[in-house]
Amino acid sequence: MASTEYDAIVVGARCAGSPTAMLLARHGYRVLVVDRATFPSDTISTHLVQPPGVAALSRWGLLDRLVTTGCPPINAYAFNFGTATITGAPGNAESPVAYAPRRIVLDQLLVDAAAEAGAELREGFSVEEVLVEESRVVGIRGRSRGGRPVTERARVVVGADGLHSLVARMVRPAQYHDKPKLLCGYYTYWSGLPMDGRFENYIRPSRGWGAAPTHDDLTLVVGGWPYAEFAANKDDVEGSYLRMFALAPEFDERIHAARREARFVGTAVPNYLRKPYGPGWALVGDAGCNKDFITAQGISDAFQDAELCATALGQTFSGDRPFDQAMADYHSTRDERVLPMYEFTTQLATLEPPPAELQHLIGAMHGNQPAMDAFARLNAGVTSPADFFSDANVQSIFASAS
Ligand SMILES: Cc1cc2nc3c(=O)[nH]c(=O)nc-3n(C[C@H](O)[C@H](O)[C@H](O)COP(=O)(O)OP(=O)(O)OC[C@H]3O[C@@H](n4cnc5c(N)ncnc54)[C@H](O)[C@@H]3O)c2cc1C
């Protein structure tokens, strides 16, 4: 690789981009990280950070900073299926708890950490084009608000630019396991809805919602319906959202006693995986793999991509491994980890009733605390669906029940 001004230019400075920039900069690489947003700023996303994401923050020395923002820890996940509620601990020894920090807080913390590590941060800078020379990405062209176009060059351009990634649009990676938008979700914040360290989920036919405690004594409540109902409900989001709670009368009573403190925000997203590297470019976070938010994996996955990608790029920059070899490892490790959860997530996002076998399993788990903890860990992304639904584990749950 020829020596150019930056080792890496990272496009996008939120959950995937800032950690990638931070980790590379901590190793002494010259990194430019740009975002068209300025910080602090919010983005359309709820924000449950699962225990593996919390563990990443801890490894990076950033967890204490999050804790001091006053975000309450979440140490129990409860899944209310109507017939039974499965309540378990989502974490493991590496990270026993989850948090649901507001993105305006979390993203600022990540941006600051990247800048502190020595990455050059350019906020309010929009990338308009990826520069390609001899079939290889060599830099970007973009501009600050109201500014003239500027060109920056790097050995690698990392697309951490989210769902509508410009980098991905320009490099046209292979895309696979595509699934359409499956559900539409809407969220807002409530005061007077105490959660006592619990993340509650309610699963009903064609409806599902979750409630998690966040900053300022507020509770995030996100819920939704199948994407097929988007058009029918879009003109009465509030009514459709509130009517859903009648399917769980106790929760309905609690939320009626609470007060809504923000407007509704909602969206629906497609599901895909993309090859995350090619000549002179890489993808991390939603730019490389997106899945429905029903299982709240995106932030943790973005963190794990950042670690894997920064490790692989570090190996190439130092000359230890050829780019293609190191990045192929990033690709295969990501897919191996993500794919079982991707399938589980896209199944849940249909909001179809759980298949009969799962309903039997839920019945068998009820009251068996180790099994309920394992179910919470499954949904937290700590235990792979491949392990949880293995014959041995399922048989052991049924054996304990009988
Ligand atoms: C409704 C909803 C709820 C969700 N809830 C959860 C949840 O509870 N838990 C969870 O873990 N995940 C959740 N997710 C998923 C999560 O939001 C994403 O997975 C996560 O934000 C991905 O981070 P990212 O850095 O890849 O992308 P983003 O957070 O989207 O950041 C991309 C950044 O790139 C910048 N950018 C884009 N294009 C350009 C350009 N051309 N030039 C400069 N900058 C650019 C943008 O300004 C943006 O700041 C949810 C998603 C949605 C939509």
User: What distance in Å separates the CA atoms of residue 196 and residue 277, rounded to the nearest whole number?
Assistant: 43
CA of 377 to the centre of ligand 1 (A): 24
The answer on pLDDT for 207 being more than 90 is: yes
Residue to substitute in 74, 299, 338 for testing ligand 1 pocket (most ligand atoms within 8 angstroms of CB): 299
CA of 393 to the centre of ligand 1 (A): 34
CA of 268 to the centre of ligand 1 (A): 13
Residue with CA closest to ligand 1 atom 5: 46
pLDDT of residue 185: 98
Binning pLDDT at 50, 70 and 90, where does residue 28 land? very high
Would you give the distance in Å from CA 256 to the centre of its chain? 30
Tens-digit pLDDT profile for residues 135-182: 999 999 999 999 999 999 999 999 999 999 999 999 999 999 999 999
CA of 298 to the centre of ligand 1 (A): 8
User: What distance in Å separates the CA atoms of residue 264 and residue 260, rounded to the nearest whole number?
Assistant: 10
Binning pLDDT at 50, 70 and 90, where does residue 354 land? confident
pLDDT of residue 4: 57
Tens-digit pLDDT profile for residues 375-387: 999 999 999 999 9
Distant-in-sequence, close-in-space partners of 175: CB < 8 Å, separation ≥ 6: 272, 273, 274, 275
Residue with CA closest to ligand 1 atom 33: 12
Tens-digit pLDDT profile for residues 81-131: 999 999 999 999 989 999 999 999 999 999 999 999 999 999 999 999 999
Distant-in-sequence, close-in-space partners of 385: CB < 8 Å, separation ≥ 6: 340, 341, 343, 344, 378
pLDDT of residue 1: 44
CA of 225 to the centre of ligand 1 (A): 21
Residue with CA closest to ligand 1 atom 37: 161
Q: What is the mean pLDDT of residues 215-236?
A: 97
Provide the CB-side half-sphere exposure for 51 (13 A, CA): 22
The answer on pLDDT for 3 being more than 50 is: no
**pTM, to two decimals:** 0.97
Tens-digit pLDDT profile for residues 268-295: 999 999 999 999 999 999 999 999 999 9
Tens-digit pLDDT profile for residues 298-340: 999 999 999 999 999 999 999 999 999 999 999 999 999 999 9
Q: Give how far Cα 104 sits from Cα of 14, 47, 186, 291, Å.
A: 10, 10, 18, 22
Could you identify the atom of ligand 1 that is nearest to the CA of residue 50? 11
CA of 400 to the centre of ligand 1 (A): 42
The answer on pLDDT for 251 being more than 60 is: yes
User: What distance in Å separates the CA atoms of residue 85 and residue 200, rounded to the nearest whole number?
Assistant: 10
CA of 39 to the centre of ligand 1 (A): 14
The whole-chain average pLDDT of the chain stands at 97
In terms of residues, how long is the chain? 402
User: What distance in Å separates the CA atoms of residue 57 and residue 60, rounded to the nearest whole number?
Assistant: 5
Residue to substitute in 143, 286, 291 for testing ligand 1 pocket (most ligand atoms within 8 angstroms of CB): 286
In 3D space, the residue among 270, 286, 289 whose CA is nearest the CA of residue 174 turns out to be 289
Distant-in-sequence, close-in-space partners of 341: CB < 8 Å, separation ≥ 6: 291, 295, 297, 381, 384, 385
CA of 286 to the centre of ligand 1 (A): 7
Binning pLDDT at 50, 70 and 90, where does residue 402 land? confident
Q: What is the mean pLDDT of residues 251-260?
A: 98
Contact status, residue 89 vs residue 75, Cβ threshold 8 Å? yes
In this structure, the residues whose C-beta lies within 6 A of any atom of ligand 1 are: 11-17, 34-37, 43-48, 126-127, 160-163, 166, 185, 267, 269, 285-287, 293, 296-300, 302
Residue with CA closest to ligand 1 atom 52: 45
Contact status, residue 198 vs residue 76, Cβ threshold 8 Å? yes
